[in-house]
Amino acid sequence: MTKGHFWTGARSSGSDGPEAVLFDMDGTLVETEQYWGEAMDALAERLGGRLSVAARERTVGTSMRFALGVLYADVGVVRSEQQLRADARWVEESTRELMTAGAPWRPGARELVLEVLESGLPTALVTTTPRRLAAVVLDQLAADLGTDPFDVTVCGDEVPARKPDPAPYRQAAAELRIDIARSVVIEDSLAGVTSALAAGAAVLGVPSLQPLAPAPGLALRPTLLGLRLADLAEILRAGDQADPAA
């Protein structure tokens, strides 16, 4: 989804800065990734089991179908397609209720989003969460900032394939009309990092519920606290050096 007003001017961060900054939502900007975990734990209990920590970790940032497959295997149940759809609706509704109660910013995220907004750089939110749920969080962020900070928002039900496929980041770049190879993506999960790297972006990984291993083109930080736009330019330059095609 693209906002009415649209950035068309000169790059404001200098010629060596990023062309755009793209953010993941759950676990990166807001402390909502654990809401999905709470809902998955509750579903496992409803199915008479208990979701292991390892299985929960494998589901972070993935599609609902993949996550439920992991849960069923972990708990040891077989569910029909119809039951899977009902379970998906139940997990989504439980998560939506938790998100409605509050979606607090991750440390440093609000300050970085504000700096990117004030710089005039094109910016997108790229999430696997479906629009119906993401809207609950986006409304809270817009209310807190007094404006919708994203030029483009791409949700999990609006793409041909979900993260770790590169499609969501490619779609956001096309809607922003920017070169993804000159952009920085901020992600917390392995699925998200894999998606963004495959799309060709420089990636800043800020792990939340899942550890992230070093990879070419991936910069790692424990949090976004104190992170500035100038640091993203540095991450882009380091990503260029890591890319043998650059």
Separation of alpha carbons 66 and 69, rounded Å: 5
Q: Give the nearer residue to Mg ion in terms of CB position, either 27 or 164.
A: 27
Cis ω before 164 (30° cut-off from 0): yes
Helix (H) or strand (E) holding 60: none
Report the interface residues with Mg ion, using CB under 5 A.
Answer: 24, 26-28, 61, 188-189
Residues 6+ apart with CB under 8 A from 181: 200, 201
Cα–chain center distance at 194 = 11
Contact status, residue 89 vs residue 16, Cβ threshold 8 Å: no
Residues 6+ apart with CB under 8 A from 87: 43, 68, 79
Q: How far is the CB of 102 from Mg ion (least distance, A)?
A: 17
Separation of alpha carbons 202 and 197, rounded Å: 7
Q: Give the nearer residue to Mg ion in terms of CB position, either 75 or 91.
A: 91
Tokens of 49: 């089991």
Q: How far is the CB of 188 from Mg ion (least distance, A)?
A: 4
Write phi, then psi, for 184 (nearest 5 degrees). -115, 130
Q: Tell me the residue nearest to Mg ion as measured from the CB.
A: 27
Q: Rg (Cα) of the chain, in Å, rounded?
A: 18
Secondary structure class of 7 (helix, strand, coil)? coil
Q: How far is the CB of 208 from Mg ion (least distance, A)?
A: 7
Q: How far is the CB of 64 from Mg ion (least distance, A)?
A: 14
Q: Give the nearer residue to Mg ion in terms of CB position, either 26 or 87.
A: 26
